[in-house]
Amino acid sequence: MNNDKQQLIESLVRSIPELTAGQLHWIQRVVSVFSADHRFILNGSDLFDETTLQNFGDALRVHHSFSSESFSKDKFEYVLVHVLKMSGHEAELAPKGNPGHDATVDGVQLSLKTQADKNIKENVLWISKFMELGRGNWGDDPDDLEGLRRQFLNHLGRYEKILSLRAVRKAPNWKYELVEIPIDILKLANSGQLEMKLDSKQFPKPGYCYVRNEDGQIIFSLYFDGGGERKLQIKNLSKDTCRVHAEWEFFIPQE
């Protein structure tokens, strides 16, 4: 046991008699969760090491000690930066509302996403709000989709990596995975097939950009949502085209 750990233990032990019964209850809850079954897997990541893997997984378990809701985007951003700093990386969050990257790690700008929809498929990614499409002409002219696609491609130039934290299995046996979406794959949208849904009752009219592989199979689609939010979604992105950095499986006992 190193000196830093020993000092931390001694400090905690000295603090225990001053805690209320309620505070001790919450501490006991976290300890019981840490003692439960878990399995953390590192897949040759260039971002995480074993220590960061453990620290991030423990943060997930602390969260689920008190919540049955999946990790939100803001929690993902905060915890990722915090555990990387614990491991000696230079990491910081971007200012709130920044239109490009969400965090910078060792000089690399990251775009961070989460996925936790109830119909999640383990081998297919969906990003329900990749970016906002508030600018540019967009009505019922199919040529308008060209401008929306340019917005998407320009947006990809604002960061260097895209990471998605996915909750692929829910309580009580949780499973999360950290997946990197290659920007080069998304840039294939430049030659994708555009289609506006002219029969839709929405205005502006929604549309798609279908991206296929050499065999003609769709590997993902851009969906230009014509609803009030005017957002762009990435649908049905095959995980085979992505890189899985890490996985966390753990059981959260009932109180």
Question: Helix or strand or coil: residue 26?
Answer: helix
The residue whose two tokens read 């014509």 is 226
Q: Is the pLDDT of residue 255 over 70?
A: yes
Q: Is the pLDDT of residue 1 over 70?
A: no
Q: Is the pLDDT of residue 164 over 90?
A: yes
Residue 226: what pLDDT?
86
Over pLDDT 90: what percentage of the chain? Answer: 86
Residue 248 near residue 38 (C-beta atoms within 8 A):
yes
Cβ neighbours for 111, distance < 8 A, ≥ 6 positions apart: 100, 101, 102, 158, 159, 161, 162, 163
Q: Is the pLDDT of residue 47 over 80?
A: yes
76: how many CB neighbours lie within 10 A of its CB?
Answer: 24
- The kind and range of the H/E element at 32 are helix 21-34
* pLDDT tens, residue by residue, 193-250: 999 999 999 999 999 999 999 999 999 999 999 877 789 999 999 999 999 999 999 9
Q: Region 95-104: what's the mean pLDDT?
A: 93
Q: Region 21-30: what's the mean pLDDT?
A: 94
The residue whose two tokens read 């957002």 is 231
Mean pLDDT value across the chain: 95
Read off the tokens for 102: 């969400």
Q: Is the pLDDT of residue 2 over 90?
A: no
Residue 102: what pLDDT?
97
Q: Where are the alpha helices (DSSP H) in 73-211?
A: 73-86, 144-155, 183-186
What does the alpha-carbon distance between residue 196 and residue 187 come to, in Å, rounded to a whole number? 20
Residue 254: what pLDDT?
87
Q: Region 42-61: what's the mean pLDDT?
A: 96
Q: What is the DSSP string of 50-96?
A: HHHHHHHHHHHHHHHHH-SSPPPHHHHHHHHHHHHHHTT--EEEPPT
Cβ neighbours for 120, distance < 8 A, ≥ 6 positions apart: 126, 166, 167, 168
What is the pLDDT confidence band of residue 190, given thresholds at 50, 70 and 90? very high
Residue 24 near residue 12 (C-beta atoms within 8 A):
no
More confident site: 52 or 134: 52
Read off the tokens for 202: 């929405």
Report CA 17 to chain centroid distance, whole Å.
Answer: 40
Question: Helix or strand or coil: residue 136?
Answer: coil
Tell me whether strands 161-169 and 173-181 are parallel, antiparallel or unpaired. Answer: antiparallel
Residue 99: what pLDDT?
87
* pLDDT tens, residue by residue, 111-142: 999 999 999 999 999 999 999 997 678 999 99
Residue 89: what pLDDT?
97
- The kind and range of the H/E element at 11 are helix 3-15
